[in-house]
Every structure is written in structure tokens, then in C-alpha cells.
Amino acid sequence: MINLNVNGQTHAVDADPDTPLLYVLRDHLALNGAKFGCGLGQCGACTVMLDGKAVMSCVTPISVLADRQVKTIEGLGTLDNPGLLQRAFVEEQACQCGYCIAGMIMRAQALLEQNPMPSDAEIRRHMMPNLCRCGTHPRILRAVRRAAKSMQAAGAATTAAKP
């Protein structure tokens, strides 16, 4: 048994230590947001966050995850109450088939948590490992920019509301 902390909840998982995190998320925990694309860490469809950073879950064995925090797209929001990035992706209509989008959003989330005001060049550089075969990259970049702006606006509003 390996204890995995995913989206703030601890799960005891019975799987080989070298099982990729992606398989455990999808097959054991029914968290189907992260997708299997290439299985080789080449496309980013499986991207989730580990201790605040974007990782490829298809090449992350669960043996390395003790005492670490995994966050998946299910941890960002729900259909009724989507997170900032999820909303921005909808508003920019940033997906065609949608297969890569959970990975895109999780990689962008890791960026915005570390750097809430990234430049366009920083967004492009950070998002580089994730591929979209439909070619919606321009909209994806716009969505990340939009989320960053609304995050700043929300932050400014919070600051302004404080006495």
C-alpha cells in the first residue's frame, strides 16, 4: 500500500511502486481529467501538479510520491464552480477536441501560482512542453493571459476591500 495525497485527500493505493501516477489517478481514483497521450513524457496531456510544480504523471512513478501533494484538474473547480483558469479557457473557447486541455490548465496553474504576472514570453516558454494537435495554442495562450489578468483583478479587489 502506498499513501497518496491527491487534492488534499489521502488515498491508500494498492499498486506496484513503479506504476505511473497517471494510471493510479485514472484507474484507482477515478480522476479522469489527466489524459494518456504518449506515455513517454513527450506531449503533456497527463500534466498534473506535484508540490506546486507541473509534472508529467505518465512518467512519475508512485514510489516517489510519499509525503508529497498531488493536485489534478479536479482540484481546481467543478462544473458549477469552475476555477479561474477553467473559466478563462471557456471564455476564450480554447479547446477543439479538448484532450490536451486538462494538462494545459494544470501547467498554466503551476505558472500562475509561482508568477501571477507572467509576460507573454514567460507564458510561451513555460507552456512549451505541452502540445495541442488541434492547433489551438494561440487561444490557449490568450486564456492563460486572461486568467492571469483576472487573478490580478481579484487580488486587487481583495486588497482594496481590506480596511
Partner 1 sequence: MTAACGTRPVDESVQGAFEPVRGSSLFDPAEVARGGQLAAIGNCAVCHTRPGGKPYAGGLAIETPFGTIFSTNITPDPDTGIGKWSGADFMRAMHDGLDRAGRHLYPAFPYDHFTKVTDADVNAIYAFVMTREPVRAITPGNKLAFPFNVRPFLTAWKALYFEKGVFRPDAARSEEWNRGAYLVEGLAHCSACHTPRNALGAEDKQRKFAGGEAQGWHGPAMNAASPAPKPWSADQIFNYLRKGRDDLHGIAAGPMVQVVHNLSQVPESDVRAIGRYIESLSGPRSADLRDTPKEAEAPRIRSAAAANAGNRETRGGVSRANDGAAVFAGACASCHDPSKTTMKTVPLALTTSVNAPDPRNLIHVIRKGIWPQAGEPGALMPGFAAELTDAQVAALVAYLRAHFSTRPAWDDAPDRVREISRQVDEK
Write out the residues near partner 1 by the rule CB under 8 A.
1-2, 14, 16-20, 39-42, 50-51, 53-56, 58-66, 121, 128-129
| Cα–Cα dist 15/20, whole Å | 10
d(CA 147, CA 155): 12
The whole-angstrom separation of Cα 34 and Cα 12 is 20
Helix H or strand E encompassing 47: strand 47-50
Nearer to partner 1, 55 or 112 (CB): 55
Nearer to partner 1, 91 or 122 (CB): 122
Judged by beta carbon, residue 88 or residue 144, the one nearer partner 1 is 144
Least distance between partner 1 and beta carbon 22 (Å)? 11
CA–chain centroid gap for 153, Å, is: 22
Q: Centre a 10 Å sphere on the Cβ of residue 98 and count the other Cβ atoms it contains.
A: 14
Q: How far is the CB of 79 from partner 1 (least distance, A)?
A: 29
CB of 53 to partner 1, least distance (A): 4
In the complex, what is the shortest distance from the CB of residue 161 to partner 1, in angstroms, rounded to a whole number?
A: 34
Helix (H, G, I), strand (E, B) or coil at 76: coil
Distance, C-alpha 8 to centroid of its chain: 15
Residue closer to partner 1 by CB (options 88, 102) is 102
> At its nearest, how many Å lie between partner 1 and the CB of residue 57?
9
Report the C-alpha gap between 5 and 129 in whole angstroms.
25
Considering the complex, state which of residue 88 and residue 106 has its C-beta at the smaller distance from partner 1: 106
